[in-house]
């Protein structure tokens, strides 16, 4: 009865065919090394930045804000930092990149740029390209794009605030004009009132109420003018700091391909394939030997055929 070889038998099958295994390993390593030299190298550039969480809102008009500002720190939460990543991955951001780098399409930029949160809760942008200078320029544009996005949002919000304040201010000016037109003149006042120095503030007369309303509206109008001035100032110079921790630089060594590493990996793969192929060849040889032995015991075989089978068994073919 035929039995499968043991562990030592398999090792012997590989050992007897060591030339085949070695040739397969060397061929795979050489082919991988040559292909690595032919392929176009790809370079990588990395920029690290964050949007600080402790930014105090500027106050240019009221004068209540202090000039002191503590050191900017990143948001110590991955979910909060992921909001900025969602902004940077938007279609509008990549369209702006295409406008600045027309040699690359949106799909190419999406495939060659990775944006993620680092372990320190900072935003890490990795850009890959065949041109190392272009990869560094693309990676360094993302902090500016995030800053510009935030500035645009602040500018739009401040313009809306200024527009609403102007509308309210126009309404107050109309009410003030109506109060002036409806208030009595000094010639219409009684003589005793004129001689005593005018209307008292809280005597309950229509003139006193009109004067109080006029003063309140003037104070509200003054506050609205300050709001308009503050909003317009912030709209012209919106404060949206983005702290760059690591600026992307031009890489001197490509990340792909690495000829030596590729040759080593291909050589190991070729070694494994060569071992399997050697075991497969040994399996086929044993099958042929078993078939030959079975034919030897068959009565239908003549003398010439029997001699040929015995010779095949002895030679192992």
DSSP 33: H
Asked whether the predicted pLDDT for residue 209 surpasses 80, the reply is no
Characterize 66-83 residue by residue with b for buried, 16 or more Cβ atoms within 10 angstroms of its Cβ, and e for exposed: eeeeeeeebbeeeeebbe
Same structural domain, 61 and 18: no
Structural domain contains residue 31: yes
Q: What is the pLDDT of residues 124-176, one digit of tens each?
A: 999 999 999 999 999 999 999 999 999 999 999 999 999 999 999 898 888 88
Same structural domain, 210 and 171: yes
Asked whether the predicted pLDDT for residue 193 surpasses 50, the reply is no
Structural domain contains residue 254: no
- For range 116-129, the mean pLDDT: 92
Percent of the chain scored above 70 by pLDDT? 78
Same structural domain, 110 and 86: yes
Structural domain contains residue 1: no
Q: Can you read off the two tokens belonging to residue 243?
A: 């702290």
Asked whether the predicted pLDDT for residue 57 surpasses 80, the reply is no
Domain finish residue from 225, 246, 267: 246
Same structural domain, 130 and 217: yes
Structural domain contains residue 252: no
Same structural domain, 236 and 309: no
CA gap 91, 81 in Å, rounded: 19
Domain region containing 86: 42-246
**Angle at alpha carbon of residue 41, lines to 115 and 110, rounded to 5°:** 25
Same structural domain, 84 and 170: yes
Structural domain contains residue 58: yes
**How confident is the model at residue 304, as a pLDDT?**
59
Query: 297 or 257, which is more confident?
Result: 257
Asked whether the predicted pLDDT for residue 240 surpasses 90, the reply is no
Same structural domain, 173 and 105: yes
Same structural domain, 144 and 17: no
Structural contact between residues 132 and 62, judged by C-beta atoms closer than 8 angstroms: no
Phi then psi for residue 49, to 5 deg, are: -155, 175
Domain finish residue from 187, 215, 246: 246
Same structural domain, 96 and 173: yes
Determine the 3-state secondary structure of 64 from DSSP: coil
Contacts of 239 (CB under 8 A, 6+ apart): 55, 57, 58, 154
Structural contact between residues 39 and 257, judged by C-beta atoms closer than 8 angstroms: yes
**Helices and strands (DSSP H and E) totals, the chain:** 10, 4
Please count the structural domains in the chain.
2
Structural domain contains residue 109: yes
Asked whether the predicted pLDDT for residue 203 surpasses 70, the reply is no
Same structural domain, 15 and 161: no
CA gap 32, 277 in Å, rounded: 20
Q: Can you read off the two tokens belonging to residue 186?
A: 């000094």
Same structural domain, 25 and 96: no
Same structural domain, 78 and 28: no
CA dihedral 170, 176, 181, 187 (to 10 degrees): -150
Structural domain contains residue 2: no
Structural domain contains residue 237: yes
Domain finish residue from 246, 272, 296: 246
Residue 43 forms beta bridges with which residues?
129
Q: What is the pLDDT of residues 243-255, one digit of tens each?
A: 999 999 999 899 9
Total residue count of the chain as it appears in this document: 317
Asked whether the predicted pLDDT for residue 81 surpasses 50, the reply is yes
């Amino acid at each position: 009865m035929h039995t499968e070889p043991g562990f030592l038998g398999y090792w012997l099958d590989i050992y007897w065919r060591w030339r085949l295994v070695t040739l397969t390993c060397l061929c795979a390593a050489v082919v991988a090394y040559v292909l690595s030299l032919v392929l176009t190298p790809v370079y990588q550039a990395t920029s690290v930045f964050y949007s600080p969480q402790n930014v105090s809102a500027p106050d240019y008009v009221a004068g209540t804000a202090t000039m002191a500002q503590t050191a900017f720190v990143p948001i110590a939460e991955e979910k909060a930092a992921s909001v900025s990543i969602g902004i940077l991955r938007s279609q509008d951001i990549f369209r702006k990149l295409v406008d600045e780098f027309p040699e690359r399409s949106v799909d190419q930029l999406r495939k060659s740029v990775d944006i993620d949160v680092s372990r320190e809760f900072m935003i890490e942008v990795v850009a890959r390209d065949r041109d190392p200078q272009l990869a560094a320029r693309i990676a360094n544009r993302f902090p500016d794009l995030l800053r510009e996005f935030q500035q645009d949002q602040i500018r739009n919000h401040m313009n809306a605030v200024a527009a609403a304040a102007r509308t309210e201010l126009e309404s107050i000016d109309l009410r003030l004009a109506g109060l002036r037109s409806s208030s009595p003149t000094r010639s219409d006042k009684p003589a005793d009132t004129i001689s005593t120095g005018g209307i008292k503030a809280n005597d309950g007369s229509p003139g006193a109420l009109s004067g109080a309303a006029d003063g309140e509206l003037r104070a509200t109008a003054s506050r609205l003018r300050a709001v308009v001035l503050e909003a317009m100032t912030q709209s012209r110079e919106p404060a949206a700091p983005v702290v760059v921790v690591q600026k992307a630089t031009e890489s001197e060594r490509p990340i792909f391909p690495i000829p030596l590493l590729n040759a080593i990996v291909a050589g190991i793969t070729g070694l494994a394939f060569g071992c399997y192929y050697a075991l497969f060849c040994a399996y086929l040889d044993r099958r042929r030997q078993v078939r030959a032995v079975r034919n030897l015991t068959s009565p239908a075989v003549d003398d010439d055929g029997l001699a040929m089978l015995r010779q095949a068994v002895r030679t192992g073919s």
